[in-house]
Amino acid sequence: LASRLQNVFGKLKSRGKLTEDDVNEALREVRLALLEADVNFKVVKDFIARIKERAIGQEVMKSFTPGMVVVDIVNKELTALMGGTQAKLARSNRPPTIILMAGLQGAGKTTSTGKLAKYLQKQNHKPLMVAADIYRPAAIKQLQVLGEQLKVPVYAPGADVNPVDIATQGIAHAKEHGHDYVLIDTAGRLHIDEALMEELTKIKEAVQPDEILFVVDAMTGQEAVNVADSFHKQLGLTGVIITKLDNDTRGGAAISVKAVTGCPIKFAATGEKMDALEPFHPERMASRILGMGDVLTLIEKAQANIDADKAKEMERKLRKAEFTFDDFLEQMEQVKKMGPLDQILDMMPGMGKMKDQMKNVKIDEKQMARTAAIVKSMTKEERAKPELLSPTRRKRIAVGSGNTVVEVNRFIKQFEDMRKMMKQFSGMMGNGKKKGGMF
Ligand code: GDP
Ligand code: MG
């Protein structure tokens, strides 16, 4: 999905102007890509309709970078489709908070129970795991092994006790021993069946959980929707844990499940190890699906955030070498609007290697503030005409801005160089090409 969409967007982004046909063609590709990722048909249809409505409107056509705006709309709508913001785990004000794990066999319930326990433990909670899957002989043992490994107690009276009783007793046990979270691991079947649902319903009635988490394997794709739907109708799910995202990065299931059940995805699991669980961030998943995890994106994000009209005006000034210190200051403000660079990087997936690289080219915000101070210490005339900056004036500016003369000189030199370079650069690019920012 990612590479396919990247192609579409690559094409779109390079366009200066978009026609309705362009938008339609791009959206057709988006539709195919989503279907290929096994996103539910109806979900895709509604999604495309929504984007089309926005994309064909004013918003895009008036924009300086229409392609970028379409990408942005797709990104935002995709984020919204997956819940918009990060959905927090429930927390009862009358502890313990009771969490019931539900899902098909092999979805990753037991593993996720362990991971969630570890996650809670890290936040200084005192979880208890309850082994209510009595049908698979190895299931109880599996949870006990995880418990030992994590040093999280497991309540497991054995396979000859009824799961409903296990759950109720487990909660009594938790209250007695001061646990503030109870995680109930339950049985699954290969397919949804009456007996399984009935048992889960009984457990639900008996323990009144604060949270019923549906554990779903990302690889089930389209089928996940039907399973999620019937679990939701029977039990009233409150959240979803999507597992095995390390095996299937397409994310089709993540998109469909939220859209169909309305239940937010609260956690994503990306491996078999106990620390491979993290809160689910819709915006990150959207970026990941759109394949935006590359350096180019960062630059494009910068351009997208820079006001289009202003960018045009600056470009004109640059060509004529009229670019002033005031313009420089304004550009810097625009860059700041994007927010801290770290945060921008965090929003992007697959960051490990790139983040390290980016550390070196990080925009130093302190440095930016100092530079801004230099410009602000100049008079109006000086800002417009750098050639006015005599040594005496530079000294005054240094004092006014709390910098040394050396620093002021260095900055002015940089500014002059940049102006020269930009002039050459824009000359080289000829006309018609857009260029937003310069950082
Ligand atoms: P349950 O039947 O729902 O309790 O499923 P289990 O927790 O026993 O998990 C079934 C299998 O999936 C086990 O082999 C797990 O190690 C594996 N598994 C669970 N979560 C993940 C995950 O996020 N990534 C990967 N690669 N494997 C997982
Ligand atoms: Mg299990």
Of 432 and 188, the one with more pLDDT: 188
Cis peptide before 96 (omega within 30 of 0): yes
What is the band of 10 on the pLDDT scale with cuts at 50, 70, 90? low
Residue 62 has pLDDT above 70, yes or no: no
147 confidence band (pLDDT: 50, 70, 90): very high
Looking at residue 110, its pLDDT comes to 97
The protein residue whose alpha carbon is closest to atom 10 in ligand 1 is: 106
- Assess contact for 339 and 302: CB atoms under 8 A: no
At 16-50, the pLDDT tens digits run: 555 677 677 777 777 777 777 778 888 889 988 88
Q: Which atom of ligand 1 is nearest to the CA of 133?
A: 4
Residue pair 33/5 in contact by the 8 Å Cβ criterion: yes
- Best residue among 100, 101, 111 to mutate for probing ligand 1's pocket (most ligand atoms within 8 Å of CB) is 111
**Statement: the pTM of the whole predicted model exceeds 0.90:** no
In ligand 1, the atom with minimum distance to the C-alpha of 245 is 23
Q: What is the pLDDT of residue 317?
A: 63
Protein residue whose Cα sits closest to atom 6 of ligand 1: 108
Cα dist from 1 to 12, 36, 250, 291, 424, whole Å: 16, 7, 6, 8, 39
pLDDT for position 355: 45
Find the mean pLDDT for residues 72-101. Answer: 90
CA of 110 to the centre of ligand 1 (A): 7
Q: CB neighbours (10 Å) of residue 15?
A: 15
Q: Is the pLDDT of residue 95 over 90?
A: yes
pLDDT score for 236? 96
pLDDT band at 4 (very low <50, low <70, confident <90, very high): low
Label residue 423 by pLDDT band (50, 70, 90): low
Arithmetic mean of pLDDT, 241-246: 90
Q: Which residue has the tokens 């494009």?
A: 300
pLDDT (tens digit per residue) in 273-309: 999 998 998 887 777 666 543 333 433 444 455 555 6
| ipTM confidence | 0.99
Buried b / exposed e over 195-206, threshold 16 CB at 10 Å, is ebbebbeebbee
The mean pLDDT value for 249-259 works out to 77
pLDDT band at 384 (very low <50, low <70, confident <90, very high): confident
User: Has residue 382 got a pLDDT over 70?
Assistant: yes
Per-residue pLDDT tens for 354-377?
A: 444 444 444 566 777 888 889 989
Is pLDDT at 201 greater than 50 in this prediction? yes
Q: Rg for the chain (alpha carbons), in Å?
A: 28
The structural domains of the chain, ordered by start, are: 2-81 (1.20.120.140), 97-281 (3.40.50.300), 295-428 (1.10.260.30)
Q: Is the CB of 219 under 6 A from ligand 1?
A: no
Percent of the chain with pLDDT over 70: 70
346 pLDDT tier (thresholds 50, 70, 90): very low
The pLDDT value given to residue 370? 84
**Distance between Cα 213 and ligand 2 center (Å):** 14
Chain mean pLDDT for the chain? 79
* Cα distance between the two ends of the chain: 31
> Cβ(108) to ligand 1 under 6 A?
yes
Q: Which residue has the higher pLDDT, 52 or 202?
A: 202
